[in-house]
Structure 1
Amino acid sequence: MSPQVDEETPLLQVQQDKPQRTPLPWFQFTIVLFLQLAEPLTSQVIYPFLPQLIRDIGITRGDETKVGHYVGLLQSLFFLTQAMTVLHVYLTSVSLICITKHWSRISDRIGRKPVILIGLFGLSMSMYCFGLATTFWGLVLSRSLNGALNGNIGVIKSIMAEMTDATNIAQAYAYMPIAWSTGGVLGPMIGGALARPAEQFPQLFGHNEFLKKYPYFLPCAVPATFSAIAWLVTFLFLEETVQAPAFALPKIFRFKKNNTGKLMMSAPEINDLTTEIPDNEKPVPFRKLLNRRVLIAAGNYATLSLVDITFRAIQPLFFSTPVELGGLGLPPSSIGNLLSIFGLLNGVMQVFFFAKLHDYFGSKKTFIMGIASTFPIFACFPILTYLVKSNGGVTPLAWVFVLLQIIFSLSISFSYGAIFIYISAASPNRASLGATNGLSQMTVSICRAIGPAASNSLFSLSMKHHYLGGFLVYYVLFTIAALALVAATLLPRKV
């Protein structure tokens, strides 16, 4: 019904003031960003040297076209095992055993902090093992453990949502990529600069027999040690954001402060196990998570991750491929520098522009903009191949297209901030936020498990058999990007 008007009704309606933005809890928020840095460091530190590592262990037997197969497999293993264990971990009062429960869903019951501690421990130990591996199967095992013991991604997103409200969530997600961007800068830089240190720095490490035997231990040890430090910071300073009265925790995971304010471990109290919780504040059954809002948000998160991970997987492989085969033929140190430049620019863009773009365009348009940017990103690969083959090497014009590809790829990160807001809003209630993020993260981990192995293998096959002139892989990538763009149209206009 139209509002009643008369001659005294103002022609210009006074707009209501926007709600005042709630300040972020900066100390706890900073801790979350700090501990989140562990994952991008451990995942991206191997990217610059992984193709050379595959060549060094001899699994390809000198066949350059097979490097992509094995690089893609190792990149995918982390996300494959993560997808399996994000869905299959349960905590008993005695020990940790694998039976069917979510990392994120179980964090709704026992709290976020214990799950994060387990994940950081797993990241640290598995990265030390990766640096000590001298066979392909040793790399497979350590990389699998790296993903299997880590369920932090969805849990951290739940903490971020629980620290914020509708007035400051966009601001929080604008800062959230700082950790990933910092990891994107430091991880490749560390991997490129410290790989094979006895050769790169003979005066400093030339007589170190340990580093000669394990030439990739040093770059792996840096993020492994950081994860151990992050574990200690989490244990001492991170505050729990969810109450879990319906679940008995092992004593080691129960924390409270005594009369002097000192943090102490305590056994579960009987009141914690008997307190009644209103139905609308309880985590909903898993089947109720499978509603339209959650599935559309999770599906778009998955398609975004698929197009993004295929690009991230092919990019360092393309950079390291010899010029005669259509790549740039760059060493690990140069690849690390290029990936670090992207990480630095990405962090700056996210902090200064995401919240403004989101406020102006809204979540849906911001998300679609990032998906659309993948078309020029993928187009740069065949253009670069044509340029280096035509000129017999990397020319200044080729570097221009490398820079253009990096600039376009910055838009992808804007889509992540937008889709995180959709996922948080899709949760049936705040008590099910961890389960919603866990379900979303499981679909993403599956796509990220498929993406690197499939895209890098297709890259190798296209190059070896010259399918569609060696460009078959890029036609497939364009198709995936088009499907992701179609899926993005299903998102509601308003969150």
Structure 2
Amino acid sequence: MAEHTSGLLQKKFYENCPGCKMDRLKEEQSGVPYKNLSYIWLVSLCTALPISSLFPFVYFMIRDFHIAKREEDIGFYAGFVGSSFMLRRALTSFLWGVVADRYGRKPVIFIGTLSVVVLNALFGLSTSFWMALSMRFLLGCFNSLLGTIRAYASEVCREEYQALALSVVSTSRGIGLIIGPAIGGFFAQPAERYPTVISESSVFGRFPYFLPCLIILFMLWEFLLLVGGFLRQCTSMM
């Protein structure tokens, strides 16, 4: 009887099954999975940077677009640019969750991060209000990764460390929301603030809000290499 019971309780892993592979890796873990937690921390941090990096300079960006007829109207247009990201994110988060359940977490994280690299750079190169609004709108469409990251965090860690993994996600996103505005505020309009280093005729002089987006681009590009090389594939229903 004991032999039959042990046979029923024994876990069985199947080949070519991403979920079984992750379960096997979790069974082999011992202690706090610092390596996995560090990857999760970087994922969440990097994808949080573009969310708030524009807030220190969005007022001046709208002013330079000359779309507001009065100075009092600048905040009105800035509100559209600032909120478009979260609006589109609210509309697409569920869809990306379905895609992540079907095709796996890693492809969704990779696509979302790659889109941030491209779209956030184009946002920094915006020459009109509508271009800036469109880039932020598309950025929110492809950067709906919070649910996917949380699911990934809970799947790569053993059950006793899942709460720790989810707290790492929240902490790193909070840090990203702090670092993002710091980058935006410090590096925006570099030709005006650092004329001895950057000239008005340079790229950063003609596009005064591109430098903070470029810095975030480099950070995200490094993370893309991490996604491709180290993040493990999780559940796929295919």
TM-score range, shorter chain: 0.7 to 0.9
Q: Which residue is 2:91 aligned to?
A: 84
Query: Would you say 1:59 and 2:67 are equivalent positions?
Result: yes
Question: 2:225 and 2:201 mapped to 1: Cα distance?
Answer: 30
Question: 1:68 and 1:165 mapped to 2: Cα distance?
Answer: 47
Q: Give me the TM-score of the superposition, normalised by structure 1.
A: 0.40
RCO higher in structure (CA 8 A, sep ≥6): 2
Larger Rg: 1
Structure 1 residue corresponding to 2:123, chosen from 120, 130, 134: 130
Identity level (%): 31
Letter in 1 for 2:68: T
Question: 1:235 and 1:229 mapped to 2: Cα distance?
Answer: 10
Question: 1:150 and 1:183 mapped to 2: Cα distance?
Answer: 14
Q: How does 1:213-224 map to 2 (within 5 A)?
A: 213-224=206-217
Question: 1:161 and 1:83 mapped to 2: Cα distance?
Answer: 22
Question: 1:153 and 1:223 mapped to 2: Cα distance?
Answer: 18
Does structure 2 conserve the Cα–Cα contact (< 8 Å) formed by 1:115 and 1:151? Answer: no
Query: Would you say 1:27 and 2:20 are equivalent positions?
Result: no
Does structure 2 conserve the Cα–Cα contact (< 8 Å) formed by 1:130 and 1:143? Answer: yes
Does structure 1 conserve the Cα–Cα contact (< 8 Å) formed by 2:116 and 2:139? Answer: yes
Q: How does 1:314-463 map to 2 (within 5 A)?
A: none
Show CA shifts across 1:176-215 (max 9, x none).
Answer: 2332233133211111111100010010002543222100
Question: 2:181 and 2:122 mapped to 1: Cα distance?
Answer: 19
Q: Which residue is 1:175 aligned to?
A: 168
Does structure 2 conserve the Cα–Cα contact (< 8 Å) formed by 1:24 and 1:172? Answer: no
Q: Which residue is 1:41 aligned to?
A: 49
Displacement of 1:147: 1.0
Query: Would you say 1:196 and 2:203 are equivalent positions?
Result: no
Letter in 2 for 1:82: R
Q: Give me the TM-score of the superposition, normalised by structure 2.
A: 0.81
Structure 2 residue corresponding to 1:74, chosen from 78, 81, 103: 81
Does structure 2 conserve the Cα–Cα contact (< 8 Å) formed by 1:24 and 1:163? Answer: no
Displacement of 1:39: 2.1
- Uncovered stretches (5+) of structure 1, i.e. residues with no partner: 1-21, 88-101, 248-495
Question: 2:65 and 2:200 mapped to 1: Cα distance?
Answer: 22
Structure 2 residue corresponding to 1:232, chosen from 222, 225, 238: 225
- SS of residue matched to 1:231: helix
Does structure 2 conserve the Cα–Cα contact (< 8 Å) formed by 1:119 and 1:152? Answer: yes
RMSD across aligned positions (CA): 1.8
Question: 2:43 and 2:166 mapped to 1: Cα distance?
Answer: 16
- Uncovered stretches (5+) of structure 2, i.e. residues with no partner: 1-29
Q: Which runs of 4+ in 1 moved over 4 A?
A: none
**How has the CA–CA distance of structure 1 residues 174 and 154 changed in structure 2, closer, same or farther, with 3 Å as cutoff?**
closer
- SS of residue matched to 2:196: helix
Q: Which residue is 1:154 aligned to?
A: 147
Show CA shifts across 1:209-261 (max 9, x none).
Answer: 3222100000111112222221111011001232x2x42xxxxxxxxxxxxxx
Show CA shifts across 1:269-312 (max 9, x none).
Answer: xxxxxxxxxxxxxxxxxxxxxxxxxxxxxxxxxxxxxxxxxxxx
Q: Which residue is 1:277 aligned to?
A: none
Does structure 1 conserve the Cα–Cα contact (< 8 Å) formed by 2:106 and 2:231? Answer: yes
Does structure 1 conserve the Cα–Cα contact (< 8 Å) formed by 2:53 and 2:180? Answer: yes
